[in-house]
Amino acid sequence: MEIVPGIRSIGQRNGAYVHAFLLDDGEGLMLIDTLYDTDAHRILDEISSMGRTIHDLKHIIMTHAHRSHLGGLARLHELSGAPVYAHEWEADLIAGERKAQCVARRPYPPYRTWPLQIALNLGVSKHPPIQVEHFVHDGDQIGPVQVVFAPGHSPGHLAFYWPERRTLIAGDAICTWPSFRLGWKGFMLNPKQHRKSVHHLAEFDCEILCVGHGEPIAANAAAMIRTALPSLD
């Protein structure tokens, strides 16, 4: 589904309504996150539906290294040859050299995320591992987007901003499933860092908000984020 010109949202129910984003700035395609499926079929179908081929995919960027977002990464890299970008603190997880840090064991709202907390802590599903070729940092430019370091949910969590589209891609720092929230409390490895990151994300004058779990927000996103900030206090 095209949200605004050049930005497509691709979602699936598995992985807690996880979403990936396919960006087209006229130079080539760029993918942010890779959904849960290891065969990447939903992303491949979306690229075909645009009349494009996998060889048009030029960059694959990861918001962070949680299983829901990593499923299709190895397959898409193998098919496209596109370089993989992530923050260096997520790279060893992506390479399969370390397990993701455990999150809270007890339930926190929204309670529908509790089974996911348990699954992550037990490491019940593994992604096909892959080496990250490029480490990226706050302020870097990749294709049309600028990188925004937004740790807290995980240590190397990244968000992205496309100024010309007034679109913020917030990863798991903000979610809209099962409802709009400034992150899932049971998954915050560092709540203080997360709070600081979301306050920073609230400074962007975004109209559109794309999140890791749930449907995108199509209008007035900055106001929604700013209004919700006291919920982190």
Q: Using the rule CB under 5 A, is 68 a contact of Zn ion? A: yes
Question: How many Å is the maximal CA-CA distance in the chain?
Answer: 47
72 in contact with Zn ion (CB under 5 A)? no
Residue among 152, 212, 214, 216 that touches Zn ion (CB under 5 A): 212
- Looking at the Cβ atoms of 103 and 202, the one nearer to Zn ion is 103
- Contact stretch for Zn ion (CB under 5 A) within 30-38, 77-85, 115-123, 205-213: 205-213
180 Cβ contact partners less than 8 Å away, ≥ 6 residues apart: 174, 214, 217, 224, 228
We find the least distance from the C-beta atom of residue 58 to Zn ion, in angstroms, to be 24
**Cβ closer to Zn ion: 212 or 214?**
212
Report, in Å, the least distance between residue 1 CB and Zn ion: 19
Q: Does 172 bind Zn ion (CB under 5 A)?
A: yes
Q: What track of x and - describes contact with Zn ion for positions 119 through 158 (by CB under 5 A)?
A: ----------------------------------------
Nearest residue (beta carbon) to Zn ion: 66
Give the interface size with Zn ion as a residue count (CB under 5 A): 4
- Which residues in this chain contact Zn ion in the complex, by CB under 5 A? 66, 68, 172, 212
